[in-house]
Chain A
């Protein structure tokens, strides 16, 4: 684009010989608008329609705040559990060879493939006081089903693949020479893991943690069967939306939905920032 050539103009797209740009982009935008934007903007419109005071009095009602606290709290605990065990699973799958490894690798995606309602009733049956896991725990005086602990169990199940699948590729691409260099310089294995491997994994681990957390906050199907759904104790925010809708209290459902959505978008922003930082630092996402 030197002088004498056509002056660079601002344009929507670079020229290309391939056809179909207008058609496919037009279809994409129309479809997205109809299926996603119009319905989602309806939520914003209904929220605005409530007015500032009414919106916040609904959003900050004690039962709502408690439900949000339970959803976010349980999702946070489950994401921490998943970050620890997910990293361990990824490590074992990438670094070690043992019989059944490939089967295990495929099985990690089970929570993605198994419908949430099926996972929900299965976990509830397992952890109920007369269930396979619930029975021995009940003898020890521990209750999981129908308590907040049940919510965490369900969210650990749902969130596990997110951490494993974000950490795994980074671990695979990790340059082994760096570890060898650390060992040559006299670092013990524990020291190498702590100061060489973990820092390299940290961004992926954080991304997986955030994805698992975001999923946990909105999760419904796998949670409601095991949670017991006691208001102020084990009632999650998505369930409260459903309850309000069944009471024809659309305004309250709207307010809870809008608050959840705002918090989720804030999370999405964080994910993108982490990934941007990750790319800038390591050259991969």
Chain B
């Protein structure tokens, strides 16, 4: 990813100052309207009734239960998709085999499926009329409208994040470092841990960061499989929806502001990691 380092300001080939000013103005207005204003509105609405009301809304028992569930789901889903991403990237980037392009496309598949459909497929699999539903019911195992279903739906929608970040990175790095370590007598695992892992650590962190943001913020897929049982199967985004639908707007925005902070922290860390990674551009077209 070569980066154009030339200074465009001194270009004799440029737009007239007026056109340039108008274009910058239009873009700033557009971004202010579509990006800045929604973000500001979240915090403005969240603190409309003052800090005390905000604290009451986010420390209310159902809100705390939702926070706990969201953290639990992320703690399970992110490491699993991390291991998957590393394994998939190792196989795809370090070896040449047939069907590789197809495999990469399949890993990206969850991004092109509507979140609602991601939830629907699990309803079809585990629901009463589903393939496994009756068997599970007979054995007293609850997946749908319970935590396992939420975890599975989250795994589905966040599956590509780590893998799609690591595959191009590891492909660029090639296999020479690993071959050198192996020829010096290091074991496979030792090579991975001391040679590969340090090489990919920033990319890995980048993938984990995006994976985590989506896992904590996922709404559509989780909404379909959760059953919306307050205090039990409500994640933070679902809790926001319930409060909003009850016309409890200040509380809805107070809880939503927690997710907005998560988004801001994610953006800051992401920008910092991009500097480390030397990305030509902040991100490839993402999820």
Contact = CB atoms under 8 A, between A and B. Distances in A.
A97 B129 CA distance: 59
B216 A115 contact: yes
Given A118-B237, A208-B285, A20 B192 contact: yes
A9 to B, nearest CB: 13
Contact of B114 (A16, A166, A218, A268): A218
A160 B33 CA distance: 12
Q: Which among A97, A121, A156, A162 has the greatest number of chain B C-beta atoms within 10 A?
A: A121
A277 interface: no
A265 B241 CA distance: 30
B213 interface: yes
Interface string A24-60: 1101100110011011101101100000000000000
Given A211-B285, A225-B244, A18 B34 contact: no
B59 to A, nearest CB: 19
Contacts of A123: 38
B39 A110 contact: yes
A23 B14 CA distance: 55
A46 B117 CA distance: 13
A198 interface: no
Interface string B247-285: 001001100100110111011101100000000111111
B182 to A, nearest CB: 6
A20 B36 CA distance: 47
Nearest to B106: A32
Contacts of A179: 13
B98 interface: yes
A116 B16 CA distance: 39
A17 B176 CA distance: 11
Contacts of A18: 94-95, 175, 178-179, 182, 188
A21 B97 CA distance: 10
B284 A165 contact: yes
B229 interface: no
Given A126-B41, A157-B34, A264-B113, A42 B130 contact: yes
Interface stretch (B18-26, B50-58, B134-142, B197-205): B18-26
Interface in A231-285: 238-239, 241-242, 245, 250, 253-254, 257, 260-261, 264-265, 267-268, 272
A42 B125 contact: yes
Given A115-B217, A242-B223, A110 B91 contact: no
Interface string B88-124: 1011101111100001011101101111110011111
A30 to B, nearest CB: 10
A211 to B, nearest CB: 5
A64 interface: no
Contacts of B88: 24, 28
Given A89-B30, A238-B115, A122 B41 contact: yes
A189 interface: yes
A24 B87 contact: yes
Contact of A245 (B45, B123, B155, B192): B123
29 contacts: A20-B91, A27-B83, A28-B87, A28-B91, A36-B106, A88-B30, A91-B23, A94-B4, A97-B9, A113-B213, A114-B259, A115-B263, A117-B240, A117-B241, A121-B244, A122-B256, A123-B38, A132-B41, A133-B33, A160-B35, A161-B285, A165-B283, A172-B281, A221-B219, A250-B129, A254-B124, A257-B117, A257-B120, A272-B105
Interface of A: 12-14, 16-21, 23-25, 27-28, 31-32, 35-36, 38-40, 42-43, 45-46, 85, 88-89, 91-92, 94-98, 104-119, 121-123, 125-126, 131-133, 156-157, 160-162, 165-166, 168-169, 172-174, 176, 179-180, 183, 189, 192, 207-208, 211, 214, 217-221, 225, 238-239, 241-242, 245, 250, 253-254, 257, 260-261, 264-265, 267-268, 272
The 4 closest A-B pairs by CB, nearest first: A218-B114, A115-B217, A13-B97, A19-B188
